[in-house]
Amino acid sequence: MAEARAPQESEVTGVLSFLDKYLRPGTGWSIAAEYPHVFTSGNLANLRIIEDAGQVLAHAAIKYLILKTHVGLFKVAAIGSVLTDPAHRNQGLSRQILDSCLIAANEQCADFAILWTDQYDLYRKMGFELAGREISVVIDEVPALPPSSIRILKSNKVSAEAILRVYQSHPCGTIRNTEDIWRNLQIPNSNVYTAWGADNQLLAYAVEGKGADLKGYVHEWGGSAQHLLPLLAQIRKDFGQPITIIMPASAQNLVRQLVELKARPHTDGFLGMIRPVNYQGLFAKVIRRARQIGLNDFVIEKTVDGFIVGSKNDTVKLSTPQELTRLFFGPHPDGSLKPEYEELFPIELWVWGWDSV
C-alpha cells in the first residue's frame, strides 16, 4: 500500500467520488461544492490520500486559514473530510493520513491545526483537544420586535463586496477577500439573509445551513445587534422551528439582547478540536503578546517530555499538547488560571461557519 501523499490533478475526480460516496450519499451535490476553497487546483498540494492499485482508500484535506485575533495573526491548518474506506478501517490509515497532514502543516509553519468532529477520543489520541469558547443561543419562538424600516432579503444573489465590508468589522475571524465570499455564497443548501438600509447600504447578514451540515444553525453573521435581530427573527419565522445562533464569546451584546427576547444561551461550547503544530512560531507569538502587556519574565518552552510555562522563577510543567491547548485557548475552569495570566489567556479564537472544513 502506498504512503500518504497529495493527489495529482488527474486523480481529483476519483478522490471526490470516494468522498461523495461515503460522506454525501444522495445529496445531489458534491462535497466540493460545500467546501469551495478546499478541492480547488490551488489547494491540491494540501490534500492527502492513500491509494492502492488506483483505488482511494483514505483521505484528509487541509485548508490553511489566516486568523485575526487580539494577539495578532495565526496561521491555522483546518483539517476536514477525514475518511477511510469501510473495508480498510482500523488498519491505521487515518492515523497515517493525519500524521502526514500534521507534518505538512509544520513545514508550512502553521501555528496550530483545528478540526470539527464528534469523535473526540480518536483525535485526542493524535494530540487534539476540545478548546476555544463558543456560545450558542437558541431562539425558540419568533421574537416580538418593534417595526423597523430595514429591508430583508433572502437570497444568495447579493454583493460579495457589501458582505465583505460588514464582515471586516468583526474583531476575530479569517482574512477573506471578495472572491472568497463570492464562492461561499454559492454553497448549496445555505440560506443567506441580508438587511438593507434606506440608502441600499448593507447593514447586516446571517447565514443558516451549509450543505449537509448546520441545518437550523446560523453559523455566519455580521452587523450590529440592532440590525441582526430583525434578520434572526425572520430566519426563525421562515424556518418554522427553533434555530440556534452560533457566536464567539466576544458577542456579549448580541447575546444579552437575544436573552432579553427570551432566547436561551449555552456558554459551555467549544470552537473545535485544536492541536499546536509549530511550537516555535506559536510560542514566539504568545511571548510577544506577554511582553506587550508587561509580563516581561513570561517563559514558555518545549522540553523533552512536555512544556514549561510561567515566569522565570515560578514555572509549571505541562505534560501534553492537550494541556497546552487548553491553557492557550481555554476554556479555563473558574479559578484555574493564575490572576497574572488573565490578560494573556485565553487567546480568543473564532472561525466563522463559512470557513469550517
Ligand X SMILES: CC(C)(COP(=O)(O)OP(=O)(O)OC[C@H]1O[C@@H](n2cnc3c(N)ncnc32)[C@H](O)[C@@H]1OP(=O)(O)O)[C@@H](O)C(=O)NCCC(=O)NCCS
Q: What is the DSSP letter of 246?
A: E
Query: Could you give the 3-state DSSP secondary structure of residue 30?
Result: coil
Closest separation in Å from C-beta 179 to ligand X: 27
Which residue, 94 or 100, has its beta carbon nearer to ligand X?
Answer: 94
Closest separation in Å from C-beta 347 to ligand X: 24
Closest separation in Å from C-beta 258 to ligand X: 30
Closest separation in Å from C-beta 333 to ligand X: 25
Q: Give CA–CA dist 299/308, Å, rounded.
A: 8
Q: Give CA–CA dist 243/235, Å, rounded.
A: 8
Closest separation in Å from C-beta 74 to ligand X: 21
Closest separation in Å from C-beta 322 to ligand X: 15
Which residue, 58 or 231, has its beta carbon nearer to ligand X?
Answer: 58
Positions touching ligand X (CB under 6 A) are 58, 82-84, 89-95, 117, 119, 121-122, 125
The partner residues of 192 in beta bridges, in order of sequence, read: 207
Cell of 24: 454525501
φ, ψ dihedrals at 265, nearest 5°: -90, 145
Residue identified by cell 466576544 is 250
Which residue, 125 or 266, has its beta carbon nearer to ligand X?
Answer: 125
Which residue, 115 or 137, has its beta carbon nearer to ligand X?
Answer: 115
Q: Cβ-count burial of 218 within 10 angstroms (0-12 exposed, 13-18 middle, 19+ buried)?
A: buried
Q: Give CA–CA dist 89/100, Å, rounded.
A: 17
Q: Which residue intervals of the chain are DSSP H helices?
A: 12-23, 31-34, 93-107, 120-124, 160-167, 178-185, 225-239, 252-260, 279-292, 321-329
Which residue, 124 or 332, has its beta carbon nearer to ligand X?
Answer: 124
Which residue, 158 or 246, has its beta carbon nearer to ligand X?
Answer: 246
Q: Do 57 and 85 touch, CB atoms closer than 8 A?
A: yes
